[in-house]
Structure 1
């Protein structure tokens, strides 16, 4: 193991697993997997963009370590890949390769591939082993950890899926050097989220050190590790999102509505950008409800703007639907329970909480104000 590798455990009893964070992990994937999952054959699921950079490194690393690659599924890149048709492609390839329940599906890619491949592994043979190899910052700090998998519906994002925990997460920090800057920024929004939920010291650290995180090296590894510790703590307490885990949705109720409103068009908005705007809106909405100071909302907006992230509705290219339609998308979100609106709101930096029964009239009025600029 490289001496820069950091290990974070997700404590789920006999289903506990490690997140390994550091450079060069993809090239050493075979020795890591064979030590933890001996005798495993694998199907690799990836997308065209990631395959061009990392597929051969992963395949070579697996085979050098004695892990047989029985199938490779390469899908189009982008949010629209999280669909029934591509889910069927993955399931068919796994079955055609005659992989067994104790064999593994390896997700090589960002959040889209991780969600789709994880869902496939959760339903084929009623559940196969699963390994996450996240190649985007967003996936390394958020979507690859915690076992949420799924695909999108025309009626909303991530409405179809299962909880299915991986056996291992290999977060190779070196691969982030190949990310387009827009994708890295989008992932950074999820980093900042953990500070805004309940780690104000981490948000303050990011305000001072974000340029070093972007540059790479030890600061990047430490930021990823801290985010993974934060998520692992929450997942261990509330695996199936019946309580505290909902805090991880800070910014997501607004963000998911904006993604649906832009028809998941990544030219206009990618997930992390939706989360960034959503977090800014959640803080501004909290200030409107007199829960938090407007100064906290301004501080969040200032930081997002400094790193180059969108932070307001006007930053989304093209026209958005009216407030009523955006509100409809919000009510389709999974954070709605028996018709009651649930938001993650805040009393200040690092003081987020679950707010139930938020008045629909307040949300609608706020959306009208936000759209008006």
Structure 2
């Protein structure tokens, strides 16, 4: 009888303990859900419209990555209804993803889940698991970034890629959509070699002279061309001639990459003059502007790289040069030199 009583008591206590644990788990879930519901874009971004713009573009990029989009669908991504107010809260933040809950749209997609590793430095550290905390990249003391505009060129860009490989240097290529459509394999080679591709418009107009719809169209067509060629959307925009204003600069939800060293290769069309000008004007943290459509420019690259390396410079891509997250709606001219549009 005593044994039966003890067994019955243990079973009863076990049931009670399980019920308490379950209730506690459900309560914790509700608390977590309530906390999540109270979050806004303002809270998770420190009230930064630049970070919110970056989240919008990451949403578009993730949608394009998750779904095989047509060129027309890529062009329409800019019109995807996404939050513009910091008070909005149409998202769920988990330990692995920021899930954006979408309103009805032409893609018939209800939500887009962005992995948190893509949001490091965009969402404040206190809302992220420890492994996604933003840590400033460690870089050598003297760094520069090479950038090339107006390609791809079917002959010169592959030649330039071989030069970069030989010197173990990566660069950012700001490509023109009309050329990407003609030479998609070259664009694929650019990315395959570990370089980055940015958007440089479809046919190189001055965007500030265009209406909003035409300026968007220039960038959207190039996005579509690069996506078709490489399967990815470009992270950055470089406006032709560097011409930008607040009206145009806020249309794209991307960092605007300018430069601090203009090689003037387009004006000189002379290899020694281009080399001398770059070497005379480069300083620590420079973004160097060149073009991969002029033979004299490509011919200048080996001497520029070798000389700057002898002077102690290391060539890095833009994130390591800037040493902070590159945010939508900001212009970047070099390390420590970023401005609003």
Greater helix fraction, Structure 1 or Structure 2: 1
Compute the TM-score of the two structures, normalised by the length of structure 2: 0.26
